Amino acid sequence: MQKNNFFKKSTLFVSVLILGLSISCKQKATKPDIEIVDFTQTLDSLSNKRVLPQDIYMLKKQYGRFFNVWFSEIMDYNRYANFPDSMVATYFNYFVQQNKPMFKAMNAHYAIHNEWKKDLNESWQNLQTAIPNTPTPVVYGYFSQFSNYNTFVDTTKGQLILGFSKEMFMNDTFPVYAMLEVPDFFNRYNSPSQIPTMLIWNYIKSKFETEHNIKTMLEQAVFEGKIWSLLQEVSPKSEVYDLLGYTKDEWKIMKLDQGQMWRHFLENKLLFSSDFNSYKRYFVYGAHTFGAGIPADCPPMIGSFMGLQIVEAYRKATDCSYQQLFNEHDASKILRLSGYNPVK
């Protein structure tokens, strides 16, 4: 299972808008009918009674693999594996009762904010056009009690399951975020409109990351650039900066800073470095990219941004499809053919 954890090492995200005029003759995929299951409503129903062992058995039977992932891995009930079923049910009942107000808040929030469902279907249709044979997922909305895992991908049983933690997309005015001292940068990503981006981003990452065998900064940048480019292609959103959680001004800053940053990478011999700790700062979530030689107020993930510029230049130079793009694992070749050099 691939999990996306906002507050630890970054996991980058993705969405895609049908390819341009150069491939206008390509047949558009049939619009998928994505099944979206709201598991929090089941938890809300359980909160009206005392949870018994047989209730947990029924949840396992009804929700199958999803429940196993959520219950055992995300909520970590595996730690009670040697406890009697009655005691596990007691702990689970406490969890359900304690969070009853949250279930009500989420139900009210998502009754109003539901446009993301349409965007997800449209984006996934575009994804299936860009990357043929992409399966249609079943999507589960769950509650993780703010445990950081805002999305996950699972293909263990041969079915594509995507999940998102509903309390992590309640908009920046949700008072609980302030009470929990959630980092300010999280406000970039806590809108329900970010749900399709996050789900597709994590899916593409989980599908292609292993085969790319990333070992250097350049390989990291190009891979993240591929994801950002694909997200931009499939998403119905018109502005890439909005899609990826930036402001228009921040996007302008990164465009202006890329020459200075490229020189910084070259002078410090970072591009072909295999020491992740030496370059991870350029790819992680946060308020800014910090460090010696980095422009003041440089937005986060500048390495991913520059990877996007390389990939976009490469696609323009080679007219490759997205399937061909992800099949090409030679980052040095992509850089060379792109002609990218912001230091001129």
* pLDDT of amino acid 148: 65
293 Ramachandran zone, left/alpha/beta (phi>0; psi -120 to 50): left
- Strands ordered across the beta sheet of 161-165: 2-5, 149-154, 161-165, 138-142, 35-38
Residues 146-161: tens digit of each pLDDT: 986 789 999 988 899 9
**Is the Cβ–Cβ distance between 16 and 200 less than 8 Å?**
yes
* pLDDT of amino acid 58: 98
* pLDDT of amino acid 234: 97
Residues 280-330: tens digit of each pLDDT: 999 998 889 998 889 988 999 999 999 999 999 999 999 999 999 999 999
**Which residues of the chain, if any, have pLDDT below 50?**
6-26
Which structure tokens are listed for 152? Answer: 């996950």
d(CA 94, CA 104): 16
* pLDDT of amino acid 131: 97
pTM value is 0.89
* pLDDT of amino acid 152: 94
* pLDDT of amino acid 293: 86
- Compute φ and ψ for 103, nearest 5 degrees: -60, -40
